[in-house]
């Protein structure tokens, strides 16, 4: 029981080190994802760049960054920047898909109603892209929390400490506690994201219910499901 305060400390730091890259990654991926809609060249460049960044293994990226950022090798900044890069790399694909998923008819309708490009983006495209973005964000959240622990190898204090310390002392329980605590944080974050989705994207549930109902009553289910995206946007505005 004497180890409990240590585990709590490590957990809190682990959460802090996870939240920053998840939030930053999401914010950076929004404009980058929207950029991929502007043309084939933009899409190809952004997607290829992201997949190349994602190919760099974690520990090498952690130790390459000091040479670029001018930070110390054992600084948390390297970890946060590296995890943000990974978060952006995963998230851009999701935001790109999300903005592509918004129906062209809906966007045209918004433009016809006199929405400026800026207002149309924030009031029509962004909310309608929400469900797909949320799915991507959940992946980002889970993988970021799992990756933070590798940071212990460059001196970061997080739940990964239980892995290296447990290994040194040949204490299997300690490693096990670290794994379980990491999984619990991932689960907690996922529940929070799902709850946020329910609050911020209430029409998704209405959509799904409508789709289920229409599937039961008519053979034209795909048609009804296709329409419900538009119906959702009407409910919103």
Partner 1 sequence: MNLFVNAFAWIFDPQNWQPGGVSPLPIQDRLLEHLLYTAIAVVIAAAIALPLGFYIGHTGKGRQFVIGFTGAMRALPTLGVLFFLTMVLGSLVKGASGVFWGTIVALVILAIPSILAGAYAGLESVSRPAIDAARALGMTEMQILTRVEIPLALPLIIGGLRAGTLQVIATAVIASYAGLGGLGRIISSGIGLNDYDRILGGAILVTVFALLVDALFALVQRVTRVPGADNGDRGLRSRRRASRPETVVETPTRERNVTA
Residues within the interface to partner 1 (CB under 8 A):
37, 40, 52, 55-61, 63-64, 66-67, 73, 97, 100-101, 103-104, 107-108, 111-112, 114, 116-117, 139, 142-143, 145-150, 152-154, 159-160, 162-164, 166-167, 170, 172, 175-176, 178-179, 182-183, 186-187
Q: Which of 105/217 has CB closer to partner 1? A: 105
Tell me the closest approach of the beta carbon of residue 142 to partner 1, in angstroms.
5
Nearest to partner 1 of 138, 215 (CB atom): 138
Q: How far is the CB of 162 from partner 1 (least distance, A)?
A: 8
In the complex, the smallest distance separating the C-beta of residue 177 from partner 1, rounded to whole angstroms, is 10
Minimum CB distance to partner 1, residue 203 (Å): 21
Between residues 192 and 206, which has the closer beta carbon with respect to partner 1?
192
Residue 166: both structure tokens together: 């447990």
CB of residue 1 to partner 1, shortest distance in Å: 22
C-alpha angle 62/179/189, rounded to 5°? Answer: 80
Instruction: Rank residues 22 and 154 by Cβ distance to partner 1 and give the closer one.
Output: 154
- Hey, how many other C-beta atoms are within 10 angstroms of the C-beta on 62? 23
CA distance 135 to 133: 5
In terms of Cβ atoms closer than 10 Å to its own Cβ (0-12, 13-18, 19+), residue 223 is: exposed
Task: State which residue, 3 or 217, has the beta carbon closest to partner 1.
Answer: 3
The answer to whether the CB of 33 falls within 8 A of the CB of 95 is yes
Q: How far is the CB of 38 from partner 1 (least distance, A)?
A: 10
Identify which of residues 172 and 206 has a Cβ nearer to partner 1 in the complex. 172
Task: Provide the token pair at 185.
Answer: 């944080």
189, two tokens: 């974050």
Sign of CA dihedral 14, 135, 115, 211: negative
Residues 6+ apart with CB under 8 A from 211: 221, 224, 225, 228
CB 83 within 8 A of CB 21: yes
Alpha-carbon gap, residue 211 to 215, rounded angstroms:
6
CB of 55 to partner 1, least distance (A): 5
CB closer to partner 1 out of 202 and 222: 222
């Amino acid at each position: 029981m004497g180890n409990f305060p240590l585990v709590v400390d490590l957990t809190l730091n682990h959460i802090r080190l996870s939240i920053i890259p998840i939030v930053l990654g999401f914010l950076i991926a929004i404009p980058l994802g929207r950029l991929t809609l502007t043309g084939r060249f933009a899409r190809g460049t952004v997607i290829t760049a992201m997949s190349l960044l994602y190919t760099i293994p974690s520990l090498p990226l952690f130790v390459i960054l000091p040479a670029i950022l001018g930070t110390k090798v054992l600084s948390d900044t390297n970890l946060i920047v590296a995890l943000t890069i990974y978060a952006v790399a995963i998230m851009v694909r999701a935001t790109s898909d999300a903005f592509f998923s918004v129906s062209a008819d809906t966007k045209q309708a918004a433009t016809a109603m006199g929405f400026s490009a800026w207002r149309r983006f924030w009031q029509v495209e962004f909310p309608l892209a929400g469900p797909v973005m949320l799915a991507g964000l959940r992946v980002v959240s889970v993988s970021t929390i799992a990756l933070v622990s590798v940071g212990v190898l460059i001196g970061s204090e997080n739940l990964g400490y239980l892995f290296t310390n447990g290994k040194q002392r040949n204490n299997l329980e300690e490693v096990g506690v670290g794994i379980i605590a990491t999984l619990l944080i991932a689960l907690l974050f996922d529940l929070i994201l799902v709850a946020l989705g329910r609050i911020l994207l209430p029409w998704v549930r209405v959509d799904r219910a409508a789709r289920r109902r229409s599937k039961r009553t008519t053979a034209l289910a795909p048609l009804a499901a296709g329409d419900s995206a538009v119906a959702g946007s009407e409910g919103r505005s």
